[in-house]
Each structure stands twice: as structure tokens, then as C-alpha cells.
Chains A and B, each alone.
Chain A
Amino acid sequence: MEYVNPLTGFRVDGRRPNEMRQLKGEVGVVARADGSALFEMGNTRVIAAVYGPREVQNKGQQVNSKDALVRCEYRMADFSTGDRRRKPKGDRRSTEISLVIRQTMEASILTHLMPRSQIDIFVQVLQADGGTRAACINAATLALADAGIPMRDIVTSCSAGYLCSTPLLDLNYIEDSAGGPDVTVGFLTKMDKVTLLQMDAKLPMDTFETVMDLAIEGCKAIANYIREVLLENTRRLECQRG
């Protein structure tokens, strides 16, 4: 299958290889949570809710008393994929993604400012169309910011792949299921630091670098967008108050 049209250079859905899908972010979508956000990358739609910082509920889980405990629970809604299959809770994939999100967020949260407290992040995929991992991290970032949790930097995530000898940014489901390499990067823009790097195939070094650089560019673009969303939200809150 031609994932990139050799004559026009367009991808199946009409994007160019280095273009991201349409982004949409919205904060404050779950009133009861301390912070919440909805994040869309094309048809991939994810909701995140953050509770905390609050007192540690189960002392046994606390690793040390100097840092806040970050917990994360990832779920995919049964209706999120085309086949509407019921998915068991806590399967290997969810556990793994939960861990990935937790570690990525932990790296940006200033946990030492909130000792003896815990932060819970709940992420739910409402609609899956490739790049759910990245979308979850972006949604979590927005929700954490909405909850006012102190962070070093905005952490964003984006995937990139390599199909038809072309590096492609932000794979959608069709491209993702092509079986090519898929690199997911988590990135702290201001600090210029990679906090997450996952790949499930082999790539030669030089190709890998271009693919990773592309993913980082994607992360930067998402960070800009998330900043805009947050600024807009702040402006709106100001208006409401003022």
C-alpha cells in the first residue's frame, strides 16, 4: 500500500509527511476534578482528570516522604475503537501505558514541593485513531496545568514513523497499523529535554535520528498550542472575574 503518494507526496488523509493532525484542547471539562482537559489529535480523543495534590490515602504506596506520589490510571473506553469490544481492565497494554504516562508526568511535576501528598491522574481514551499514547500525555499535561500543579515545564508528546521511505509525523490508525517503526517522544520544550522515547521496531541510526527529530518538532508545535490554550483559558477566567 502507498502510504505516501509518490507523485504528489500527500498521505492517505491529505496531509504532508511533516504535518500533524488537527489539534484541539479544552480545559475544565470535568467539573468535579481539580483539573481536567480534553485533547484531540485528529480523530484521537482523550479526556484526562487530575485529583490532588491531596493527602496520601494509602501510606503503603508512599516511597519517600520528600516527594509527592504521582499515580496514573489509563483506560480505553469500550466504544473507543470500531469494534466496540469490551476491554478487560488492567490488561498489559493499559498497565504499560499507565506506567509510561506516570513516569513522563513525574519527570515534569515538581514533586518535592508537595511532600506527603499524592496526585492522581485519570486518562480515558474516548476515541482511538492512532497516537493515543501521545494524546494521553498531552491531555494529562493540560489537566495538570488546569489543576494548578507546579511543573518544571510543559511536557508534550508526539509520534513519528517511517513508511514508504519517508519519515511521517503523527501517525493515524491506518499508518500505525502498517507495521512500520513508530517512535513516540515525550519532550520538555523549554528545557530541551527528551523525557520519553519509545520505539517498537528497528531503524538504522541516521534514519532514526531524522524520525526522532521530526517527532520532537511535533512536540514543540503541540507545546505552543497547549500554551495558547492555557493562555486563552486564563484570559477567559480573568474576564469572568473582572
Chain B
Amino acid sequence: MLQSKTFVKKTRAGRVQKVVREHYLRDDISCGAASCSTCGAVEHPLSADAAAILVVDTNVVLHQIDLLENPAIDDVVLLSVVLDEVKNKNLAVFNRIKALCSNKARRFFVFTNEHHRDTYVKEMVGESPNDRNDRAIRVATRWYQSHLGENVKVLLITNDRDNKRKAIEEGINAETVESYVRSLAQPGLLDLVVVSTSGDVTMEDVEDLRPSKKKVIYSEHKPMSEITAGLRCGIYHQGKLRVNRYNPFEAYVGSESIGDEIVIHGRSNMNRAFDGDIVAVELLPQDQWHESKSFIADDDEDDEEDVHLAPNSADDAPRKANPTQSTAASSADSVSSRPVGRVVGIIKRNWNSYCGSLEPMPMPAGSGGVAHALFVSKDRRIPKIRIQTRQLGNLLDKRIIVAVDSWDVLSRYPSGHYVVLIENDINTRPFSTQVLACLPPLPWTLSPEDLANPNRQDLRHVRVFSVDPPGCRDIDDALHCTPLPNGNFEVGVHIADVTNFVHPGTPLDEEASQRGTSVYLVGQRIDMLPKPLTEDVCSLRADVERLAFSVIWEMTPHADIISTRYTKSVIKSCAAMSYVEAQARMDDSRLVDPLTVDLRNLNSLAKIMRHRRCERGALTLASAEVKFEIDSETHDPLDIGIYQIREANQMIEEFMLAANISVAEKILKHFPLCSLLRRHPSPTKEMLEPLLRTASSVGLNLDVSSSKALAESLDNAKNDDPYFNKLIRILATRCMTQAVYFCSGDLTFSEYYHYGLAASLYTHFTSPIRRYADVIVHRLLAAALEIAKLPPLFQDGPQLTGVADNLNYRHRNAQMASRASVELHTLIYFRTRPMDTEARIVKIKANGFIVFVPKFGIEGPIYLTPKGDKGGDWVVDEVHQRVTKPGTNVSYAVLQTVMIHMEVVEPQPHRPKLQLTLI
């Protein structure tokens, strides 16, 4: 079993102690080449007839991941030293390269050079880790060449000049990315690479900015007078440019003058036009039209691969707005005859702000200075945007929003600046083909096997219904409430049976686990699971048979739970109502149909449960959740308002809480060490300090000794101001930390407590379509019922803890993204709608105060004195949280109502911000 191995000890000098680790060097690591007869065979070998076997360095992986993902690049050796470096520098890229390496359709081989006897490289005295790694890459490349012999060409791909020079000196074949791809002679690919290589914001690129070295890349736009003249005499054609969603290097201009769509190929023909710009186009000579064929064929292939991409809202139909679309669509099959043109001028710009992130790049030396970086928009139709930033380290790996400023003929990319930072790393990339391959065959229907399954109860005869926000398409919960002969009720909560479709260890499961949660942005949703699952197969829509996981109680009319059972089930929902609809039914006393009676019964049970929960000390917290109405065309917010909570919302919430608690009890009983639960730590005195200070300044005494005491004093916090209580609750909510997921084995029982709900146990079971935690809990529950085996993950404490941590991280990110999205839309909304409104003072500052605008859920400073002025003539009374102007009776106190004016101002160009002023 054991090979004879030599080993060296790798010493890592830690802070205090010396850590000695063994590092085994082996002689049995396969090179992975099919042509090699010495090494053991591997599962997916590098092909025997490859023109060259490529060894890539770290920066190539980091910067050219898009290129590597292109199927034209194959037979790549990834050295473990490279993977380790990539992992340290950019986890997102690492995950992508990892996916490539495990993709069976591709030939990417991981060679553990660090543990191979012949390729291990020991750090030399005075050698930097970077140099050592570069040397390791060269040594491994040379080993491959000598190991595989002269019949196979082994090529080192590096953009590092120094490394390339050294490699060639050492007799290694080495090329830059660009020269290698050029040698492949695939025009489409080259286009991609040119973009990517100049995307490497290396020193050369920065040097390039010097005027002397600049090259003209695009042709000059024609002056406006010439364009109008050209349009009039028919040389030019006017239209809105639409970039192909699946191939950003191709665009269409719908032209009324020729009654057809003009196709534009490549960025240079697009000549700096953005999607949505009104442009003037000149037709190319007809003999150049046919060249388009290959492009369109390419494009079609892409199309198929990306079907799942078509995401949310009006964005789905990028060319819908085009009035000539109808004619274009009908002529789509005769593509070859479509005219081809190039943009000569831009009549109206459609520049906007774009959401995306910076391309990974190494931190330039002396990070205090200005760095040039390339911004990559989430929207593929938008080219990369060059930005200057002084806070590169802060922005890398973050989701940011960038606005476009200009696009020079000398510059390959438009210039812009960064507007907003959305601090999170949320995976917005479409699902990969491997992930989509895990979906059940569509359209999905209930199979006889599902019905024959002894573990699955047929509940299709039960009157099940769902109540959700209006327009909800991913319905993961439904209920039923049947009166029993003994006067009790059978109440069931039915949750989408996601784990019936998402099996542990599959690419689909791994992707969902990584994403952790769906992200809800204004007018957009980033799904955790592919759309066919979320909106169709799993969604408990009305009048279709769906698989569910049910919690069924027998409850007395006083909402005492007599028994609880759990089962997988088949249901057929009879109605998918919105909250408003359900509320209206309950309120309309004329209605006595069974569904309405069920609703009323549920509601009266829910009220008792809610009352009991509050008795126990559950906090009724409040937050101002803002809702936008979005114009489906322009994506601009049309209306903004606070989310209204109705009784129906609370009713559903109550039963979801009850189901979650029942499930938490069940799984913890069976798996005391590896259950995934959710806890809400009690706030400490220090955390509640700001609340107490504000409260005492208005003469309110809050008892924070326990959640029950706090709940009671919040209930008693009333005065003649109707909004006062809500305001205090909002302030209290702000002091609390968030609830978190954890693994039951990591904490003691008393730490499981959920402070906000006053529940000793809690978990998430009711939203498996949009939260991965619920998927885990579904598996735990299935295992507890002995209808499924517990996946191996749960046998591994540290791994489960890691999953819980990732879920918390993703959850937080999703919330921050939502907030950032709301903030951005608030800004857009008020840009055209300055207004006066009522606000409440929530905090007193030396030169002003912070106000909260209940109507819009926003908060901001109001300055009583100009900035810079230290607020000389205002006196702050800390104890009473009051600011007074001496000699006058003008004063402002905390919680006081003030009228303010809201307006978007632009103190610096392109940096709009919302400004609040006192009226």
C-alpha cells in the first residue's frame, strides 16, 4: 500500500511557535496524458492528439477565466500551485476553474506538482514566494515536456514577461495568451481574447494611457450636421441599437428607412454604441454581408446553451421595444439576407448606471495611489468599463455600480466611475449546463411511482390553498384547515418538496448550497434554484398536482396542539390567493363558502397562537420595509411606499412559525448533534443603550431585563402620538443582532434560544425554494422519519458548521444587496420627484440631527449649520436629546416631527445623492 517515499519537512515560522508539517513527495502521481504509458490512467485524460498541452500560470487563470471557459481551449494542465494561488486571490474565479476541472466535457487536468518528487521546488534563500511559484510552474512544465517526450508539445501560457523570458531560456515553450490564441486562428475566439488580454490591467495598460503610445481603435463619429444630412439623403439609417443578449459582439439596429434590421458585427463596427443608443448606421457593401453567417451560427449555439439565462422582468425581451421588431422576427430565418452595417454616429446616448464588479487584478504597488481597473457589468450586453479608483482593495470582489462618462476613439473601453458599492458577493451568473442537467424532465407531471410511494400520502382530496404576496410565482407554502367531528381542527402546512428534486451531492445541490439563498432586488430576483424548479415544478400553484412535505396538527379550537405528524404528500391546491384577496374574503361577511370558512378558522387559531406567543414574550418588532412599483419598461420606480401588513400576512406567518418550531423539535430529537437550527442571541445591555437613551429622554422607561419584559414595556410605550409606539419598535429593532443558523452540536441547549420569537427552538423549514437552510432541514426531517438516509454531510460536524456559516454569510449578503438596491431605487425615484414630507428626529448631533422618513423608510442627516461650521450657536442637551438655539425658543428634540424637503442633488458630477433639508 505504501510507496517508498522521501519527504522533506516544510517549516512555517509562525508567530510564536514553529509549526512543522510533513510534506510527502510521491512518485505515483499521474501526468494525466492519454498518450503516456508510464503513468496510471486517469478518468478524463488529456487527449492523445492534442496540438499542445497547455500549462497556465496563476494570472492567466485569474484574468482569462472567460477564455478558459470557452470550449476552444482544452487540454490544460492546472498545477496545484496555481490553484492554491487562485484560491487565495479570488474565490469566485477559483470556483469557476474548479467547475471546469470537474466538468467531464472538458479536458482540464489537475497535476499535484507540489507533491510530485520531480516537480517539488524548495524555496531558495532570498527568493520571494511569487518567484518561487513561477519557478515551480516552469519546473513542472519542463517535467511535462521531458516526461511526454518530443512528440507532444507542452506550452506554458503566461503573460508575465519575465517568466516567459526565463522559461524560454530554460528551453521551455512559452507564449502569451494572445499569441497562443492567435495561433489557433479562430476569429471569434480572438475577439474574445483581445478583449481579455487588454483587460489585464497590467503596467503596460497603464503606460498605454500616455498619449504618445495610444492607438486609434475606433473611427471618429461623424459630426451631427453630417449625420442629419446623411439621414436625409438615405446614406445613413437611424435606429435604436440592440445588443444581442447572448453575444455582446453582435447588435441589431431596427431601421424604419429600410424596413429591416441591420446587423452589426463586432465592437469596432458598433463603434462605441451602447445597447439602447439611437445610432446612425451606414450599410456595408453587399459582398460583406454573407460573412455574417458564421457569426450567427456561432450565436445560435450560444443561444441554446444559455436558454436558462433569460432572467426576470422586461429585461427578458431586449428587443421588444423596437417598433420594427415584428418584421425582423419574421425574417429571422432568412438571416443571411439581412443587411450588415456599421455605426457612424450616435444620435442619442442611453448611458446608464450598471451593476457589476471589477475584473480581478493584482493590487498595484503602493496601494495608496490611483489604480486603473476594468469594470465588468452583470449585463453582458454592456462592454467592460474602465474606471479609476483610489480604493481598489475596497472594491475588488464587490458588487458595484458604475456609470459611464465617455468613450474615446483611442480607448478600447469606455471610461466611467464607480457610483455605489454593493458590498456582497452574490452569484448572479446563470446556472451551468451541469446544474441544469440535474433538473427533472420538463414538463413535470405527477408519476404513478410518486403515488405508489408508501411514504407519500395522497392529500389531493384535501382543500389546500396558498396565500402569498401579489404576483408571487415561487409559492413554497400552502395550508389546509379541516374541521374534525370532535370539534377540533386538522391544520396542515404543506411545503414544496424541493428535496425530491434536489439530491445531495449533485451539481444542482452544490450550486444551491453555494448560493445559499435567493436574492430579492427591486424588480429583480436572483434565484437559488433554476427557474423551472422555482416557478413550476416546486411551486405549489393552484389546480396542479404537486409534491409537498407536510406538517399536520390536530388543534383544539383554542389552538392547543394535540398531535403532530409529518409526511411527504401529494397535494392539489384549490386557490393561490394574494394577501389582499384572502383578507377581502375573510372580511366579507356575506361569503360562507368552504374556502372562506377555512380562512376564518385559520385566522382565529392564528390570533390565539399569536397572542400566546406575545404572552411568552415574543417581540413585535417593526421595520420599515419599502416597496417599489417598477416601470417594466424603463425600470424606473413609479411609486414607493411602505409594505402594508395585513391580518392575512400575520395569519400565514403564525402557521409558518408553528411549522418551523414543530420541525425543529422533531429533528433535534433525532439528531441532537447535527441539526441545523436558527437562534437569535439576546441583545446585551450595550446593544440596547441607544434605545434606552432615546426612550429616557422622552420620559419612557424600558425594562430590558428579558425579552418578555421588553415586549411588555414596548406594548406600554404609548402616548397621544399614534406613531410613537411604532417608532420605538423600529428603534428597538435596530438594536438587535440578526438571527443566525448554527449546528446543534456546536452549542448548548440554552444557547439555542430565539430571543425575538421567544422560542426555545427554531429552524427554517417553510421556504426551501429560496433558502438552502430549509433544504437541509427537509433532509434532516426526512431522515428523522426514516424515509431517506441522512446525507454524509451530516456525519461531518465541521463541514455542517461550515455550511451554516456560509448560509449566514449568504443571507447577510442577500440582505445587504436588497438594501443597496432599494437605496439606489430611492435615489432614482426622487431624482425627478423632489418633495416635502414629514420626518421624525431619531438622533441629535452636534450640528443637526438624523431624521427618519416613515413614508419612505429612509433616514438621513439634517444640518442646522453649514458643514464645517462646528455648530457654534446651537447647544446640544445630551440627556434630553435636544438641540437648542440659545436666546430663542427654537429647539429640536428626539422623536419630534419635522417637515423636510427631499431632493436629489449632484455636488460632484455623476455623484447624485439625496439631500434632506429642513423647511
Contacts and interface: CB of A to CB of B under 8 A. Distances in A.
A12 B790 CA distance: 27
B102 interface: yes
B19 interface: yes
A163 B796 contact: yes
B713 interface: no
Interface stretch (A13-21, A86-94, A227-235): A13-21
A165 B24 contact: no
Interface string B1-43: 1100101010000101111111111100000000000000000
Mostly, the A contact residues are: loop
B798 A179 contact: yes
Contact of B24 (A7, A14, A179, A180): A14
Contact of B2 (A10, A20, A164, A180): A20
Nearest to A81: B17
Interface stretch (B107-115, B248-256, B393-401): B107-115
Given A179-B797, A180-B797, A14 B2 contact: no
A14 B795 contact: no
A174 B790 contact: no
B793 interface: yes
Contact of B795 (A15, A19, A43, A203): A203
28 contacts: A1-B798, A5-B112, A6-B102, A12-B21, A13-B21, A13-B23, A13-B24, A14-B26, A14-B114, A21-B22, A22-B7, A22-B22, A43-B9, A43-B21, A43-B22, A82-B14, A82-B19, A82-B20, A83-B17, A162-B795, A165-B792, A165-B793, A165-B795, A165-B796, A181-B795, A201-B797, A202-B795, A217-B1
A221 B24 CA distance: 19
A180 B83 CA distance: 26
Contact of A8 (B20, B23, B80, B797): B80
A82 B17 contact: yes
Contact of A7 (B16, B26, B102): B102
B114 A221 contact: no
B22 A42 contact: yes
A129 B21 CA distance: 9
A203 B794 CA distance: 9
B215 interface: no
Interface in B488-511: none
Nearest to B87: A2
Q: Top 4 nearest A-B pairs by Cβ distance?
A: A14-B115, A14-B24, A82-B17, A165-B792
Interface in B65-124: 80, 83, 98, 101-102, 110, 112, 114-115
Nearest to A2: B87
Interface in A188-222: 201-204, 207, 217, 221
Interface string A146-183: 00000000000000001111000000101000111100
Interface string B777-821: 000000000000010110111110000000000000000000000
A99 B23 CA distance: 33
A172 B795 contact: no
Contacts of B799: 163-165
Nearest to B793: A165
A202 B795 CA distance: 8
Nearest to A165: B792
Given A14-B24, A15-B24, A204-B790, A180 B673 contact: no
Nearest to B20: A43
A102 B661 CA distance: 49
Contact of B112 (A10, A163, A201): A10
Contacts of B114: 14
Contacts of B115: 10, 14
Q: How large is the interface on B (under 10, 10 to 19, 20 to 34, 35 or more residues)?
A: 35 or more
Contacts of A221: 1-2
B667 to A, nearest CB: 15
A178 B798 contact: yes
Q: How large is the interface on A (under 10, 10 to 19, 20 to 34, 35 or more residues)?
A: 35 or more
Contacts of B673: 202
A5 B87 CA distance: 12
B862 to A, nearest CB: 49
A224 B2 CA distance: 12
A16 to B, nearest CB: 9
A189 to B, nearest CB: 15
A178 B101 CA distance: 27
Given A13-B22, A14-B26, A221-B1, A7 B796 contact: no
Interface of B: 1-2, 5, 7, 9, 14, 16-26, 80, 83, 98, 101-102, 110, 112, 114-115, 673, 790, 792-793, 795-799
Contacts of A217: 1
Nearest to A169: B1
Contacts of A13: 21-24
Contacts of B797: 179-180, 201
Given A19-B2, A163-B798, A202-B673, A14 B792 contact: no
Contact of A14 (B1, B20, B112, B793): B112
Given A163-B799, A165-B795, 17 more contacts: A6-B102, A8-B80, A8-B110, A8-B112, A12-B21, A13-B23, A14-B24, A14-B25, A14-B26, A15-B24, A19-B1, A22-B5, A83-B16, A84-B17, A163-B798, A164-B799, A207-B792
Nearest to B7: A22
A13 B70 CA distance: 33
B247 to A, nearest CB: 31
A12 to B, nearest CB: 8
Nearest to B111: A8
A167 to B, nearest CB: 11
Nearest to B110: A7
Contact of B21 (A5, A174, A204, A207): A174
A201 B797 CA distance: 9
A14 B7 CA distance: 10
A83 to B, nearest CB: 6
Contacts of B23: 13-14
Nearest to A83: B17
A215 B531 CA distance: 46
B613 to A, nearest CB: 34
Nearest to A20: B2
B245 to A, nearest CB: 33
Contact of A204 (B7, B16, B795): B795
B348 to A, nearest CB: 50
A42 B244 CA distance: 59
B514 to A, nearest CB: 13
Interface in A122-166: 129, 162-165
Interface string A1-37: 1000111101011110011111000000000000000
Contacts of B98: 6-7
B834 to A, nearest CB: 53
A18 B3 CA distance: 12
Contacts of A207: 792, 795
Nearest to B801: A179
A181 B797 CA distance: 9
Contacts of A14: 23-26, 112, 114-115
A228 to B, nearest CB: 12
From B7, B24, B673, B790, name the one whose CB has the most chain A CB atoms within 10 angstroms.
B24
A203 B673 CA distance: 11
A211 B727 CA distance: 58
B796 A162 contact: yes
A83 B22 CA distance: 18
A125 to B, nearest CB: 15
A165 to B, nearest CB: 4
Nearest to B9: A43
Contacts of B24: 13-15, 22
Nearest to B84: A5
Contacts of A82: 14, 17-20
Contacts of A172: 21-22
A179 B797 CA distance: 7
From B5, B83, B796, name the one whose CB has the most chain A CB atoms within 10 angstroms.
B796
From B14, B80, B114, name the one whose CB has the most chain A CB atoms within 10 angstroms.
B80
A179 B101 CA distance: 29
